[in-house]
Amino acid sequence: MWALSLLPDMFWHLLIAAGVISVVAAILLKNVPIVSNYKLFLQYGGIIAVLLGVWMEGNIANEAKWQARVKELEAKVAAAEAKSAEENVKVVTKVVTKREYYRERGNDVIQYVDREITKYDNTCLVPKEVVKAHNDAAVPGDKK
């Protein structure tokens, strides 16, 4: 099929015309001696030429329809990609804004802890048993 598609479309139009002319000539000129010798060849060859030409015309029309559909879908994909890029910019902006917010909040917490921990650093009121129990709880079960 791809080899037949290499021929220009005009070839198939001319093949149909030649097939129709061949069949009509075989019918109308049957009394002419040269034509009457090749009457069956002209009729059957013309019919085959018309059938092949019509078949390829259908293929050409079908291919044109599919190519139009491909172009339509490519346009839709391009529009969707543009919209997607726009939405990606919005999402990235949102993510960057949230990261900056959390970074600032984290720095505020660190500053608060650094400021407040110095007040209680020398006066640790937590009993040693509580610290030991806490540290033992952090050790996996098989190492106790």
pLDDT, tens digit, 9 for 90 and up, residues 54-83? 999 998 899 899 999 999 999 999 999 999
The answer to whether the CB of 45 falls within 8 A of the CB of 18 is no
Residue 113 is assigned to a structural domain of this protein: yes
Residue 144 is assigned to a structural domain of this protein: no
Residue 107 is assigned to a structural domain of this protein: yes
How high is the pLDDT of residue 116?
65
Residue 24 is assigned to a structural domain of this protein: yes
User: 42: domain range?
Assistant: 2-139
For the segment 16-65, what is each residue's pLDDT rounded down to a tens digit? 999 999 999 888 888 888 778 888 888 999 999 999 999 999 988 998 99
Q: CA-CA distance, 35 to 53, in Å (whole number)?
A: 23
Residue 32 is assigned to a structural domain of this protein: yes
Q: CA-CA distance, 144 to 140, in Å (whole number)?
A: 7
Residue 121 is assigned to a structural domain of this protein: yes
Total count of domains within the chain? 1
How high is the pLDDT of residue 50?
96
Residue 18 is assigned to a structural domain of this protein: yes
Q: CA-CA distance, 59 to 14, in Å (whole number)?
A: 16
Residue type at position 96:
V
Q: What is the pTM of this model?
A: 0.54
Residue 99 is assigned to a structural domain of this protein: yes
